[in-house]
Chains A and B, each alone.
Chain A
Amino acid sequence: MKKIYIISITFLLFNCSTAINDNNKKFELGVALTSRQIHVIKDLKEMVLGFTGKSRMTAIPFSFAEILNIDSTNITLLPYYDFDTAIFYEDPSPEKILESLTVSDDLYFAISKDGCLAYSLLAKKKEDSWVLSRFSENWGEVIKWFPEKLQDADSRDFKIFRAGGIEYFLYYKNGKTIYSTNIGQEISEEILCETILESIHRVDENKKYLDSIGVHF
């Protein structure tokens, strides 16, 4: 009888841990890193070590110091795209949005801790090494709606891009392209097209103003 209890408990525990693992796995976004991308992470870690070395403090006031513990996390590469405003502006239309996306040279990483999405890193190439450009410490919390949406999608394919200062997610459902802000607000192609156009016009206008006051970028 005792044996049956032990076997049953072991069986239950095993199932439970498998369920937890499955649950965690669904929060993995993106793909595993290649050896080249692993080197990029090393560069970023070196950069952060440089910062923390400069700080001469035991408690470093930068959340990106988390990167120093990155070896104990799970890192994936996100499908990050640049939005080419020049392509879009040739003939602006809702359909043109997709055509204006080009694979970015920057690398966008998602970092999961204990099976949950935690933060994201954007790395840019600078001369021969890679530098940290953007660290979002609560990115996992912000986009926690997305893995579930992706499970109901036609495929696991998705794209992330930034336009007008806002990060968008694109995925496919019922044969349609769905656009959403990174906080989960769905936006139609038509409205997105208008929003991007407005942003482009504003850039031109603002640039003229900056030129007129002698501020140049």
Chain B
Amino acid sequence: MKKIISIVVILSTIMIIYGFAIFGNADYNGRTAKQEYATWCVYAVMQMHGGGLQHYYASLYVNNFLNSPNIIDCMYIDYNSLTRTYCVNMAGVKLKDLVRFVNMSHSGLEPVSGVGKIGDCYGPNRYKDLPCLALEVGTYYHALYLVYIAIFDDKMPDESSVMVCIDPASGEKLSLMGNSDKLILR
């Protein structure tokens, strides 16, 4: 509790001095990773965060969350058509599995208990460790590696806040505005 109060006090002070608060690491210069397949965005984010290999995370998901008939190793995608189907076509992590998967992944991501809108998870009196995994939601679901978020004028994250992240699809470093359609694990 003391820790949370200190963080809130520090952030509020920063906001008063600078006009905005930054959650996360504005100087992030860590590893980047590109997803190996269209459905592997979550695994690439895990690789960025804690190292490891994408096919390891993919195998972990496939063997624990999908009812595959045999143990499948996603390192050998072309072993047979079944492996390709499970490891590529079906391997996109479903939202309902995400919390449990993150908690068992050994990817270094903080343990989480649910998903929520970014606006509900950040603000002057809310705090979460960054960098972390975030999701773009809308006509598609896509995982991003959220490096830092800037919130202006003592507000909750809204159209004026800025989310800086690395897109595992391309390795692009993106600044995104208008964060009403973003999800985060909490």
Contact = CB atoms under 8 A, between A and B. Distances in A.
B49 interface: no
A194 B89 CA distance: 8
Which secondary structure characterizes the binding site on chain A? mixed
A195 B115 contact: no
A183 B34 contact: yes
B171 A138 contact: yes
Interface stretch (A23-31, A32-40, A110-118, A128-136): A128-136
A210 B95 contact: yes
Interface string A60-74: 011110000000000
Contacts, number: 126
A55 B171 CA distance: 27
Nearest to B41: A165
B177 A142 contact: no
Interface string A177-214: 00001110000000000110011001101100110010
A206 to B, nearest CB: 4
A136 B172 contact: yes
A215 B117 contact: yes
Given A61-B150, A62-B150, A203 B172 contact: no
A215 B173 CA distance: 28
A51 B140 contact: no
Contact of A165 (B19, B89, B141): B141
Contacts of A1: none
Contacts of B116: 215
Interface string B127-145: 0000000001111111000
A51 B178 contact: no
A57 B150 CA distance: 14
A202 B97 CA distance: 12
B177 A131 contact: yes
B170 A198 contact: no
B169 A167 contact: yes
Chain B, interface SS category:
mixed
A131 B89 contact: no
A83 B139 CA distance: 9
Interface residues of B, number: 46
Contact of A202 (B19, B22, B141, B153): B141
Question: Which among A132, A206, A210, A217 has the greatest number of chain B C-beta atoms within 10 A?
Answer: A206
B113 to A, nearest CB: 12
Contact of B170 (A126, A167, A202): A167
Contacts of A194: 89
A81 to B, nearest CB: 13
A212 to B, nearest CB: 8
Given A209-B95, A217-B181, A137 B38 contact: no
A163 interface: yes
Given A85-B139, A198-B39, A133 B94 contact: no
Nearest to A120: B172
A56 interface: yes
Contacts of B41: 165
Interface in B76-100: 89-90, 92, 94-96
Given A63-B173, A83-B139, A134-B175, 13 more contacts: A54-B20, A57-B18, A61-B26, A126-B159, A133-B176, A137-B172, A137-B174, A142-B170, A165-B136, A166-B38, A198-B38, A202-B141, A205-B95
Interface of A: 51, 54-57, 61-64, 83, 85, 124, 126, 131-139, 142, 163-167, 181-183, 194-195, 198-199, 202-203, 205-206, 209-210, 213, 215, 217
17 contacts: A62-B150, A133-B178, A134-B174, A135-B174, A142-B172, A164-B38, A164-B140, A165-B136, A165-B140, A165-B141, A183-B170, A194-B89, A195-B39, A198-B90, A198-B92, A206-B137, A209-B94
